[in-house]
Amino acid sequence: MTLEALIFDVDGTLAETEEAHRAAFNHVFADWGLDWHWSQPRYRELLKTTGGKERIRAWQQTLPEAARHLSDDEIARMHREKTAIYTGILAEGGLALRPGVAKLIASARAEGLRLAVATTTNMPNVEALTRCCWNAEPHEVFDVIAAGDEVAAKKPAPDVFELALKRLGLPPAACIAFEDSLNGLISARGAGLAVVVTPSIFTDDQDFSGAELVTACLEGLTLGDLERLSASERA
């Protein structure tokens, strides 16, 4: 079976977005009058929990009982406000795709491969990234988008990759996934996909031994390389 589709994670994989997310979280915490602040080392740990609302809940579990704890409704409202701040940051520009991403996606499109997103983040964040980096709407760049708020369980569960495969109408053997995190790798492998990992600045200390390829970036990676990796996984 030949390679027919590429499936991409978003945050940390297409672009180093996590600093913008961290800034947006800290901004909304200040807006809410909370003395919370997520430093880079703390955010590195928090990223082991996938999903922004889930990350806030995980953070609250580390706080003293006397500290203010938000209800689920408050967390959902805070997260919506955080998303608005994040999309505003990206709307100002300045976020670039990681090296090799644009060329690989353009090459895949030119060769007739299908392109998909399988992400824990929500659709507004995907829209913000494609508008910032491609000056285009998500459906103009990707054939299929599967987002974290559309599935029952987020990464490391395989649900979002399985949803992407269902929407592509393709078996795992015809696709290859791109990730930057251990949770993402576990998720993609759980869906039966071969995986290329490009560690981000927040995940470069994680164990990616289950990936077909671990590389600093996608620069220089060709469709021929990916076909060989995919064929090796199918063998």
CA distance 144 to 140: 10
Residue with tokens 């459906």: 139
Element (H, E) at 6: strand 5-8
Judge contact between 151 and 132, C-beta under 8 A: no
How big is the CA angle at 68 (ends 79 and 32), to the nearest 5 degrees? 45
User: Of 149, 173, 169, which is closest to residue 160 (Cα–Cα)?
Assistant: 149
Active-site amino acid positions: 9, 11
CA distance 20 to 190: 29
Q: Which two tokens stand for residue 22?
A: 């961290």
User: Of 60, 28, 24, 22, which is closest to residue 42 (Cα–Cα)?
Assistant: 22
Q: Which two tokens stand for residue 230?
A: 């995919």
Judge contact between 18 and 188, C-beta under 8 A: no
Is the dihedral angle over the CA atoms 78, 133, 171, 208 positive or is it negative?
A: negative
